[in-house]
Amino acid sequence: MRIQAKFLAILLPVIFALGIGGTMIFNLWITEASKVPAVYEEGDFAGQADPGDIRGSYSFADIENAYSVPAEVIALAFGLSEEDNFAEFQCKMLEDRYGAIEEGEVGTDSVRYFVALYLDLPYEPEEDTLLLSPSIPLLKDRVAPEILESLRNRTATVREVLSDEAESETEHNTEDMAVKGGTTFKELYDWGLSNEEVAEILGIEPGPAGGSVRDYCIQNGIEFSSVKSILQEFVDSKN
């Protein structure tokens, strides 16, 4: 039996609407990316949300929902409690606010590390990951004294980070060939990387030769901390 075109034109939208309605009723219709982190697969913490899965797009409110660490606590730890709508502050925005200094970097991995410490969960931060001094009082009663003491070597004051970051805009030591907040594209090329290699790592065409790689990443929505280690591996392999 042939279905008339006129009848089919009426029937198809009805079927489509019923399909969407059914998926929405049973929570199967997902309109945006889910902020559900991965969990530890084994060991004493199996089943718990893994702080290592915190992404740059996570806001402090997302972290509160996923890990039960209050957004206000995270904002305090990173000197942002006076910010309007600090709950909506995204982890990757820390790179724009603080970024890299000579001693290390404040960014998304800093949030991962702080959350892990706050919840007494295992996490191995990147070698140059820093915390800010306001986090220490918040962790005082949550970590062992020896751990708290060791954190002082990974901690900078807000004033230190901001002043060092301002200086890095005009000064950068190229002798150590370390990819930092002030590293320019020209320095990457001087250290042996090609334009094509940088483009492949970033996923877009590189910026101006004299421009900061970190600033260019921020402008284009790329998490600098996620590409910095890859760039460093390329630099190390060529020198």
Query: What does the alpha-carbon distance between residue 37 and residue 137 come to, in Å, rounded to a whole number?
Result: 27
In a domain, 36, yes or no: no
Render pLDDT for 77-106 as a digit per residue (tens, 0 to 9).
999 988 889 999 999 999 888 877 777 889
Q: Residue 11: which pLDDT band, with cuts at 50, 70 and 90? A: low
Arithmetic mean of pLDDT, 184-196: 88
Judge if 57 and 146 occupy the same domain. Answer: yes
Arithmetic mean of pLDDT, 100-124: 92
HEC-encoded secondary structure of 174-204: CCCCCCCCCCEHHHHHHCCCCHHHHHHHHCC
Residue 201 has pLDDT above 60, yes or no: yes
Greatest mean pLDDT among 40-54, 111-125, 139-153, 164-178 lies in: 111-125
pLDDT of residue 130: 92
In a domain, 138, yes or no: yes
Q: Residue 173: which pLDDT band, with cuts at 50, 70 and 90? A: very low
In a domain, 58, yes or no: yes
Q: By residue range, what is the domain housing residue 183?
A: 172-237
The domain boundary, picked from 112, 141, 164, lies at: 164
In a domain, 2, yes or no: no
pLDDT of residue 17: 52
Q: Residue 66: which pLDDT band, with cuts at 50, 70 and 90? A: very high
Residue 8 has pLDDT above 90, yes or no: no
Residue 15 has pLDDT above 80, yes or no: no
Of the candidates 132, 125, 168, the one whose C-alpha atom is nearest the C-alpha of residue 152 is: 132
Judge if 220 and 189 occupy the same domain. Answer: yes
Residue 46 has pLDDT above 70, yes or no: yes
Judge if 120 and 71 occupy the same domain. Answer: yes
Judge if 127 and 186 occupy the same domain. Answer: no
Judge if 125 and 157 occupy the same domain. Answer: yes
The number of distinct structural domains making up the chain is 2
Render pLDDT for 123-171 as a digit per residue (tens, 0 to 9).
999 988 999 989 998 998 999 999 988 998 888 887 666 655 444 444 4
Judge if 55 and 160 occupy the same domain. Answer: yes
Residue 191 has pLDDT above 70, yes or no: yes
Residues in contact with 9: Cβ distance below 8 Å, sequence separation at least 6, in sequence order: none
Quick check: 60 and 76 in contact, CB under 8 A? no
Query: What does the alpha-carbon distance between residue 14 and residue 52 come to, in Å, rounded to a whole number?
Result: 45
Burial status of residue 231 (CB atoms within 10 A of its CB: 0-12, 13-18, 19 or more): buried
pLDDT of residue 74: 96
In a domain, 29, yes or no: no
